[in-house]
Structure 1
Amino acid sequence: MYMNYLKIAWRNLKGSKLFSVINILGLSIGIAVTIVLLLYIHAELSFDKMYTNQDRIHRVLLHTEDGVAKEIWTGIPSALSPALQNEIPEIEYASRLLKHDYGGNAAIIKANQKHFSEQKLYWADAALFKIFDIEFIVGQSTTILNDPNTVVLSESTAQKYFGNDNPLGKLITLNNSEQLEVKGVFKDFPSNSSLSCDIIVSFTSLQYHLNPSWGNASFETYCLLKPNTFVDDIQQSIQQIVDKNIPKDEQWYSFTLQPLERVHLYSASYKDNYSSKIGDINEIQNLSFLAILILLIACINYMNLITAHSQKKAKDIGVNKTLGATSRTLIFRFYVETALLTCIAMIIGIVFTIVMLPFFNTVFQSTLDIAMLGNVYFIFGMIVIWLIVTLIAGSYPAIFLSKASTGMMLKPSFRMGKNTILVRKGLVILQFAASAVLIVSVIIMHKQLQFMQNKELGFDPENVVAIPITAIQTPQKQHTLVKAFESLATISHVTKAQGFPSVDVSGNSLSRTQDFATYIDIRSNAVDPNFVDVLKLNMLEGKRLSENKQDADTIKEMVLNAKAVKQLGYDIKEVVGKKVYMNNRIFYVVGVVNDFNFSSLHIPIGAYAFHNGTRESKRYLLVRTTGSNVSSSIQQLEATFKKIAPDAIFEFEFLNKRLQNLYTYEQKIAQIYVMFCGLAILIACLGLFGLAAFTAEQRTKEIGIRKVLGASVTRITQMLSLDFVKLVLIAIIIAFPIAILIMNNWLEKFAYKTDIGLHVFLSAGFMILTIALITISSHAIKAAMQNPVKSLKTE
């Protein structure tokens, strides 16, 4: 019996080639999209699962409590980590991580007489290797990093530095100053690890080890809890440690523990993340919804087309019922036919996935592995998807056709009832409403990205080049380099700076009074006076920092932004000349600049200060070129740099490119939406194409009579298209409020956002109607131009 059902199903598929091709193509595209999205989601959810004790590993988070800005930081003071391990019995191990230059500049490494630039150099406590499963190829993890000036390298880094030679005991030089002895080589971190280091230097090499501070919150800290430990109890113990070391009125932060499993997907809004692999659980939920939506659109295609096609099957079903076939038997038969079609679509969909995956990885900079398709869980998942698609796609047609009256189905004039037509129309509306929501979402995403790229930032990032100078150790050589750059014809201004917009600088407290009775959070940047010209900031009041300020001079100057002046409680006109206090140092406010976006547009503008204090090192040269010949300017800068500092590596970064990189994740997600939105619309159009074909076929005689009575091709085309256009218009009306709700929620994560104007919906509506009309018109015009004599002969 089952083989007979399969034979009948195969014969039906072969007998209706257009129906079969449209359904298989629509389902296979839907399945391929779903597979790719599920692989991407699986990759995001798999982060940090490789560590044996991942359920006991936590990261310490800092919550600011000053009343000015409520933020969560991933960096904490260096003094907390040893206190955790020594004073809280429930914590087995704790380890600090400090990225080179606080996550700013790359480290310059000299090994085998060659120089290398390294972005992933960290200082860490030896306990790091007891918290995480880091496999060593050379060396013993139990004794590594106990001694100062020791280092371990990743396998790929050791190969890069020393080739096939044994690196143990060899020396490398950091930033032309510190010599480090190689004590081990570990396997490269997996691509789905939040922790990713190429070089790990012993924390005992740093001054922070000797003088741990409760103030400088720059250290990511991980701890391993003992089994069966309650996190709430530990957090209370941490607060007791804070109370013991910091007076209540000076506590501007508190701490919580974040499970390792939440580090990747739940840290998008946290400040100072060292990891470049930060995901977003909200986007994962959105992509999951998108996968389900696209699969549902493909299923709706099948349901619509088979109900439209059912008239051709009516006599066959009626005869079967007359011969004793039960509804149950017929339902099973229809499910077999659906299962066969979806099985073929599943196979083609997997082939599409294999073809699509390399392109997806290239465009979206992901590392999805084709080998996952052979995973037992993946195969099981594909079987589940096949069953779900079969049940959903085959449900309505199977029940409708099996329940229809035998007598009615045997009549030559059998037509589907009003309820069936209404359901079919409702499915078309649902399909295009989903497509409309996707189109509006993509337009608004693109509009927001364009808004962020074009927004006035309060400074001019164009033609500004940032050059790291940490490897140039002597101030005299740095000064020589500045003068040499200034003498170049293609360079207009040069300044040394601790950082620049998009690069984090020092976080401090600023107060009007020495007792810090009230204070504000502020970002402070040690710079030379030319910073105003390089960034093209607008001086609102006062003057820039003084030239030739001596390091021994106790009078330090500061230029505030307007936000900082407001938070301090001053008026811009009166603040110049006032004395302010930062880190127990006195500064005199000499000027005020306009507010500018020194961070991403996800957060509002905060308080910012430029100063000429000497405690913070100036890590960059900011160079404004004339813009006349950028490539020539870079070549001249490089040649000058290598002449003056031959032992350092010349690296540069355009400030405008750096700012664009702040939105890399949003750009990638938007690209994913554009790609899969296009495929969803294609699937919907395939269904509409099939429905238009069947509608034209059903109304063949009507069209012939109308033509005989004088109806024009244009009039008949309008008549055939109008019903579908009405459905699309209803779908648009339903979709737009839903799209507004969804995208308003998405835009909430930006402090500065574009407006959702009427033109967005007009553009989306016009686009959807145009696509629908093009899809429908091919069949409508063909039917309208057919010879009426042939139409009237049609049975």
Structure 2
Amino acid sequence: MRRNKLYAGLNILGLSIGLGSFFIIYLFLQNELAYDQFHEKKDRIYRVVTIAESDFGVEKQASMSHAFSQKFVEGIPGIEAFSKVDRNSAVFNFHEATETGSPTETLIVDRDFLNFFTIHFMYGNAKSVFDSPNSLLISESMALKQYGTTDVLGKTVGYYEDSYIINGVFHDLPNSSSIKADVIVLNEKMNARHEVGAWSVRMNNLQAYMLLNENTEVADVENKLTELYLEKNKYGAGSKLSLQPISEVHYSLDVRDEVKEKTDRQYVSIFALVAIFILASSIFNYISLSVSQSIERAKEIGVRKVAGASSRELRKQFIIESLLHVLISFVLSMILVELLIPQLEALVERNLGISVLVQPILLLKGIMFASLIALVCSFYPTYLSTKLKVVQVFKNGKGIFSSQRLIGAIGIFQILVFVVLICVSVTANRQMRFMRNENLGFDKDYQLVLENIPYRDWKAYKNEILKISGVRAISSGSQLPYDVTAAMSFKEYDFNLSFFEIDENYFQTLGIPLLEGRNFLPEDADSTKLVVINTTAANKLGYKEGSVVDKKLGTGSSAYKIIGVVSDFHFASKKELIEPIVFKHHPSQGFNGQFIVRLEGANWASTSKRVLDAYNKIPNLYASSYFFLEDRVDAQYKQENVMITMLNTFTVIAALVAFIGLFGIAGYSVKRRLKEMGIRKVLGAGFMSIQKTLNVSSVWKLLIAVVIAVPVVVYWMDNWLSSFAYRIEMPVFLIFGAIAVASIVIFITVSIHSIKAYLINPVEILKDE
């Protein structure tokens, strides 16, 4: 290591970066793949999902009504247990002396819940904790937070006029659980006011889970569920029920539900491949850098063999060297992991519960894995050392070490990794920019949203804010493009229309073009019977362009008159198709306490300050709450933003590791041809001639790598882009631009060594001859 500081440093640097990155990705993926795997009966637990098909695609949602109950499913064979799960933020009063309660993450469940979900109790018994309807189960951390102890059985907890008795204390649910809560109570008590037969009332946060008997055919249960659902629910026409394994809930991005932590399974595969690329690059780096020192090591090994060293001793030497390198790299990689895990947790905005230094099992696994890597890294150099011909070494200073096939293959692999990851990163970033900024159909910039506006005199507050210099428009629309949950249905149509309740300034404020007809007017006599629709709704209703105005939406007394058509806009992620929308004019009593204020772009900061000053001076303001629309729209792509950031980071790391390997390989290739270059210089070869000779092999490696990389990138990225309803075309020019950048980096790497070789005095190279 002292004699070869550069190569030893490159080896340790490449291995430490490679191992650290691999461990971080491994720990992250381990956490992702562990979701809901802790339930003992996980293979038999399913969630009910409603699937509705239409011309606009397939809509899946896990929200159910209270009518979907134990009584509803009890006649279906194969169902062992059933429970609705209502995830809510209930306000409990844990202390009688406290006037106001604390919002608490709560699960409202049926009695069968504990029969199939695995929850470990500190106090209480799973078979008896729900003996009383007033039973309340509390988590360990919540008990400590509220009472300072976990011995809290029998304590009374208030909930408005009701009271509950703590009948069980459970260990905190794992971070890798899709269902999280600090309190669990019974549905029959908390939701007793809901009408069981009300199929028309859909609870967005109410999910239904069931445990199937062993050897039960899932398809048979699904068919029976759908049959009963359509028979009992007159609103269910065109829908069917499906059973989703609980292990799939964490990855169900296409299902609308209240599960907050989800991951695209494609990203799991992508990061697994990136981890393998990085680790493979690190191992190949070590091997190539070890073999690149063959010219120096060949004579050393030859002398040792002549002096009587056995093959066993030579193998021992290389294995110990490898173990030493990997041990140092492992220590550095653990430091890297500990430093970056908090950054990763901040990025994904959740606690992963990972710390290698305080989890001995993880540390032991890491040491065992690093030892295996050391053996893999030392295998090829060890094999070559035992096969080295002593006579050949002292005859021409070379041996089997000078074989080029493996080194050439490693070089191609490193270039391939370099090119593929850069192309993937460029394509993914281009798609994300398209999703966030291009063709949204409305203006998201400089839109300040003010909440909790008092109902009384809201029109006066609106006019006051509109007078502020720099305010272009203001609207009191109740729905924003990023958050639309309301829908309207008509018995004449087999589809729902997303529902916006707005004022006459909504389209102007958000910059949504009116294509046909007119907007709402304050003087409209009966504005509650007037609607505006979007282009998708017009097409879905069967109206041609120019023939929509004055048509009816619905029939009879519930019919609405269509007065205008607006352009389509994305009110959900671009991963989803644009749905039909109906806009209604909200009357005074429909005001929901929200203003959308459009600011001038030039002085938006000072204008927003003036608006907020006026806002905070409003009398009887319940609580100051405001945000910029752009931030909420971008939050729709939180999952993609996180993954793209991680992909970019690990692409840079993988490129760095590949660069280190290429640097070592280039150095080896130049070093083994030094005498050839010395002879060429003596014979009059110029600078460009020598550069061409040394770099021609790198050109061939690059071409081979590109020929392999382009189809891989096109197939891989086209597959990923196809998961978006609205996507970019494959950016061919950007891909070839990325290849050009990679080529420049590779040629710079090779040229560093070739220029250095050219500057060496031929006398120094050829004096031994």
Task: Name the TM-score, length of structure 1 as normaliser.
Answer: 0.83
1:443 counterpart residue number:
426
The one of 275, 282, 305 aligned to 2:266? 282
1:668 aligns with 2:642: yes
Partner of 1:358: 342
Matched residue, 2:232? 245
Aligned to 1:610: 583
Once residues 667 and 177 of structure 2 are traced to their aligned partners in structure 1, the CA distance between those partners, rounded to angstroms, is 52
2:517 is aligned with 1:542 = yes
Paired position in structure 2 for 1:4: none
Contact (CA 8 Å) 1:131, 1:223: kept in 2 or not?
no
Q: Kindly tell me: are residues 129 and 379 of structure 1, through their superposed partners in 2, closer, same or farther at Cα, counting changes over 3 Å? A: same
State the 1:268 CA deviation: 1.6
- Report if the CA contact (8 A) 2:536-2:581 is conserved: yes
Kept after mapping to 2: 8 A contact 1:66/1:253 = no
Report the Cα offset of residue 23 of structure 1: 1.9
3-state SS of 2:355 partner: helix
Partner in structure 2 of residue 262 of structure 1: 248
Partner of 1:677: 651
Written as runs of structure 1 = structure 2, the 5 A alignment for 1:515-594 is 516=492, 518-547=493-522, 556-581=529-554, 585-594=558-567
Q: Structure 1 stretch 575-584 or stretch 129-138: which is displaced more? A: 129-138
For the residue of structure 1 that corresponds to 2:199, the secondary structure is coil
**Aligned pair 1:497/2:461, yes or no?**
no
Deviations 1:510-538 (A, max 9, x none): 4xxxx52x433321122223221222211
Contact 2:27–2:354 (CA under 8 A) maintained in structure 1 = no
1:541-569 Cα distance to aligned partner (Å, 9 max, x none): 1122343678xx69622111011111111
Aligned CA distance change for structure 1 residues 646 and 120 (closer, same or farther; 3 Å): farther
| Residue 60 of structure 1 pairs with residue 40 of structure 2 | no
Mapped contact 2:419–2:742 kept (Cα < 8 A): yes
Residue-by-residue CA offset, 1:258-277 (whole Å, 9 max, x unaligned): 2222211x21222x231221
Decide whether aligned partners of structure 1 residues 693 and 98 sit closer, same or farther in structure 2, where only a CA change above 3 A counts.
Answer: closer
Alignment equivalent of 1:707, drawn from 673, 678, 681: 681
Shift in Å, 1:52:
5.2
Q: Say yes or no: does 1:234 pair with 2:208.
A: no
Equivalent residue number for residue 722 of structure 2: 748
Q: Write out aligned runs for 1:63-212 (5 A).
A: 63-66=51-54, 68-84=56-72, 86-88=74-76, 90-97=79-86, 99=88, 132=117, 142=129, 146=133, 189-197=173-181, 209-210=194-195, 212=197
Letter in 2 for 1:566: N
Q: Identify the match of residue 432 of structure 1 among 398, 415, 427.
A: 415
Alpha-carbon offset, residue 644 of structure 1: 4.7
| Residue aligned with 2:547, SS | helix
1:46 aligned residue? 34
Work out the CA distance in 2 between the residues paired with 1:221 and 1:309. 63
Aligned to 1:24: 12
Quick one: structure 1 residues 737 and 624, their matched pair in 2 at CA, closer, same or farther if it must change by over 3 Å?
A: same
Aligned with 1:299: secondary structure? helix
Q: Secondary structure, in 3 states, of the residue corresponding to 2:194?
A: helix
Secondary structure in 1 matching 2:50: strand
The counterpart of 2:285, out of the listed 301, 313, 331, is: 301
**Residues 625 and 158 (structure 1), Cα distance of their counterparts in 2 relative to 1, 3 Å cut:** farther
Secondary structure at 1:37's aligned position in 2?
helix
Cα distance change, pair 554–762 in 1 and its aligned pair in 2 (3 A): closer
Residues 509 and 583 in structure 1, CA contact (< 8 A), matched pair in contact too: no
Deviation of the 1:79 alpha carbon: 1.2
Counterparts of 1:412 and 1:155 in 2: how far apart (Å)?
A: 74
SS in 1 for 2:57: coil
* 1:583-630 CA-partner distances (Å, limit 9, x unpaired): 993211111101111111112222111124789966462412333554
- SS at structure 2 position matched to 1:624: strand
Question: Does the Cα contact within 8 Å between 1:562 and 1:592 map onto a contact in 2?
Answer: yes
Q: 1:316, CA displacement in angstroms? A: 5.0
Q: Distance in 1 between matches of 2:621 and 2:185?
A: 22
CA contact (8 A) 2:51 2:241 kept: yes
Which of 652, 676, 701 does residue 626 from structure 2 map onto? 652
Query: 1:443 offset after TM fit, Å?
Result: 0.8
Find the counterpart in structure 2 of residue 10 from structure 1.
none
Relative to structure 1, is the Cα distance of residues 109 and 728 closer, same or farther in structure 2, using a 3 angstrom cutoff? farther
Are 1:37 and 2:42 counterparts?
no
Task: Specify the SS of the correspondent of 2:49.
Answer: strand
Show structure 1 runs of 5+ residues with no match. Answer: 1-12, 101-105, 173-177
Provide the residue aligned with 2:701 in structure 1: 727
Please point out which of 680, 694, 700 is paired with 2:668. 694
**Alignment CA distance shift 1:781-1:751 (3 Å):** same
Q: Give deviations 1:83-121, integer Å, cap 9, x for gaps.
A: 456544734241242557xxxxx9999999999996967
C-alpha distance in 2, partners of 1:726/1:579?
69
Counterpart code for 2:730: I
Q: 1:617 to 1:389 in 2, by over 3 A?
A: farther
* 1:757–1:687 Cα change, 3 Å: same
Aligned-partner SS, 1:458: coil
- Cα shift readout 1:349-374 (whole Å, capped 9, x = no counterpart): 22332333334434454534453455
Q: Look up the match of 1:775.
A: 749
Q: CA deviation at 1:637?
A: 4.9
Q: How does 1:392-403 map to 2 (within 5 A)?
A: 392-403=376-387
Mapped to 1, the partners of 2:419 and 2:687 lie a distance apart of: 30
Q: Distance in 2 between matches of 1:520 and 1:87?
A: 30
Report the residue type matching 2:662 in the other structure.
L
Q: Residue 630 of structure 2 aligns to a residue in which SS? A: helix
In the alignment, is the contact (CA less than 8 A) between 2:447 and 2:599 conserved in 1?
Answer: no
Residues 426, 734 of structure 2: 8 Å contact kept: yes
Determine the C-alpha separation between the residues in 2 that align with 1:583 and 1:82: 37
Distance 1:453 1:114 in 2: 44
Q: Distance in 1 between matches of 2:460 and 2:106?
A: 29
Look up the equivalent residue of 2:505 and give its one-letter code.
N
Contact residue 47 and residue 194 of structure 1 kept, 8 A: yes
**1:186, distance to aligned residue in structure 2 (A):** 7.4
Q: Secondary structure at the match of 1:61?
A: strand
DSSP 3-state at the match of 1:210: coil
Q: Distance in 1 between matches of 2:383 and 2:589?
A: 75
Shift of 1:332: 6.7
Write the distance in 2 (CA, Å) between the matches of 1:740 and 1:309. 38
Amino acid of the residue matched to residue 493 of structure 1? A
